[in-house]
Amino acid sequence: MHAKKPRMTNVLWMLFSGMFYISAFTFGGGFVIATFVKKKFSDELGWIDESEMLDLIALAQSAPGAIAVNVAILVGWKVFGVIGMIASVLGTILPPMIILTAVSFIYNLIADNMYVAMVLKGMQAGVAAIILSVSIDLAVKVMKEKSILYDALIVAAFVLSFFFKVNVVFLIIAALLLGVALAFFRRKGVLR
Amino acid sequence: MIYLQLFLSFMQVGLFSIGGGYAAIPLIESQVVNNHAWLTMSEFTDLVTIAEMTPGPIAINSATFVGIRIGGIPGAVIATLGCIVPSLIVVSVLAFIYYKYRSADFMKRILKVIRPVVVSLIAAAGIRILSNVAGFGGSIDWKGLILFSAAFVTMKTTKVNPVLIMVACGVVYLLLGIIIR
């Protein structure tokens, strides 16, 4: 990355504006954003080579938090260290912050209007359909692994969360610990 | 004090939403609706709807929306910061490990075990949103229930853009409301 050494302000501006543009106009979540980031910074600018970019995206997807933010952290850091990271993260989070600030002011003004409330209610039905449809797709994907453990985890997590109202954070920590334990044992050759 | 609560709540959302996108929904619900009652279930569902229609990660969208309601613009900034601080730390650690060993396999194995749990948590949140829309446990809202079914079948059988489906649901509900009433 030190090969060309373009001017610092230039690089920072391109990190910020590139991420800002992608973040402001990309609908459809982290995976879509990751594709655009790869297009911009690998294919177009050639700042990060393709195979490393794919690894960074995989890394961003395995870390907690929003995938878009994680990608921004890695790309910014890779291109220009900590300052680069700040520039690209700012570029990523400013558009949604600005848009949602505007939306929340409008929401406070119009949500009580009878007709607006009806439209929102109808859209809620759509959102419920989207979320349940996505979760069924995800569940089918997990079940295709044909692992009794994963199937049991699906059932157990659903029962504990939905019927017993066990705290979400608690369930995720439990899964995390189980995952670490299993990965550790598998590495040691105790399992499989 | 309220700022500290916002920061800590959204820090948990940032730290435990593993698996991207929808994984954040049950966590935001748990923090914002159950733990702090910052939003009602209906407002929360509106928020998810809005987040679905606007660009940007749902966690950042929610942090801004809830932050502004509870603590104005500073609240929004602090909640958003809370959201990204865990990412900054964990991603840095993972990047360090990656550049040292050039392998992300260990992490992938752990994720495989977390995923089934996350899927169930998303499904459970989806059902709670549905029961809020359709009025399960109270008087059933048939218009909502029928629209949900239509939207669900459309999602499963066609490749129509989800945002379009949502907007269509909103318009149809409004028309039904005006005609039937």
pLDDT confidence bin for A135, thresholds 50/70/90: very high
Q: What angle do CA B56, B58, B63 make, to 5 degrees?
A: 100
- Domain housing A151: 114-188
pLDDT tens digits, one per residue of B10-35: 999 999 998 777 899 999 999 999 99
What percent of chain B lies above the pLDDT cut of 90?
73
Least confident of A10-24, A27-41, A123-137, B154-168: A27-41
Contacts of B176 (CB under 8 A, 6+ apart): B143
- Please report the residues numbered 115 through 134 in chain A whose beta carbons come closer than 8 angstroms to any beta carbon of chain B: 115, 118-134
Distance (Å, whole) CA B44 – CA B162: 19
Distance (Å, whole) CA B136 – CA B2: 33
Domain boundary among A92, A110, A128: A110
- Asked if residue A1 belongs to a domain, the reply is no
> What is the structure's pLDDT at A185?
82
Q: Does residue A1 carry a pLDDT above 70?
A: no
pLDDT confidence bin for A71, thresholds 50/70/90: very high
Q: How far is A5 from chain B (nearest CA, A)?
A: 22
Whether A63 and B124 lie within 8 Å, measured CB to CB = no
Distance (Å, whole) CA A8 – CA A10: 5
Tokens of B5: 């609560």
pLDDT confidence bin for B106, thresholds 50/70/90: confident
Distance (Å, whole) CA A74 – CA A17: 16
pLDDT confidence bin for B104, thresholds 50/70/90: low
> What is the structure's pLDDT at B27?
96
Whether A125 and B151 lie within 8 Å, measured CB to CB = yes
Domain boundary among A110, A144, A168: A110
Number of domains in chain A: 2
Domain boundary among A86, A110, A134: A110
- Asked if residue A134 belongs to a domain, the reply is yes
Q: Which residue has the higher pLDDT, B142 or B99?
A: B142
- Asked if residue A48 belongs to a domain, the reply is yes
- Asked if residue A2 belongs to a domain, the reply is no
- Asked if residue A28 belongs to a domain, the reply is yes
Give the ranges where chain A is alpha helix by DSSP (H): 8-25, 29-38, 50-62, 67-110, 114-143, 148-158, 168-188
Q: Which residue has the higher pLDDT, B58 or A33?
A: B58
**Could you tell me if A33 and A91 lie in one domain?**
yes
Asked whether the beta carbons of B16 and B27 are under 8 A apart, the reply is yes
**Could you tell me if A86 and A142 lie in one domain?**
no
Distance (Å, whole) CA B134 – CA B132: 6
Interval A151-157 mean pLDDT: 96
Whether A62 and B59 lie within 8 Å, measured CB to CB = no
Instruction: Establish if A42 touches chain B: CB-CB under 8 angstroms.
Output: no
**Could you tell me if A124 and A105 lie in one domain?**
no
Contacts A187 to B, Cβ<8 Å? 106
**Could you tell me if A95 and A182 lie in one domain?**
no
Least confident of A25-29, A37-41, B56-60: A25-29
Q: Does residue B97 carry a pLDDT above 90?
A: no
**Could you tell me if A102 and A128 lie in one domain?**
no
**Could you tell me if A26 and A88 lie in one domain?**
yes
What percent of chain B lies above the pLDDT cut of 70?
98
Instruction: Establish if A113 touches chain B: CB-CB under 8 angstroms.
Output: no
Q: Does residue B7 carry a pLDDT above 90?
A: yes
**Could you tell me if A41 and A74 lie in one domain?**
yes
Longest dimension (CA), chain B: 66
**Could you tell me if A84 and A149 lie in one domain?**
no
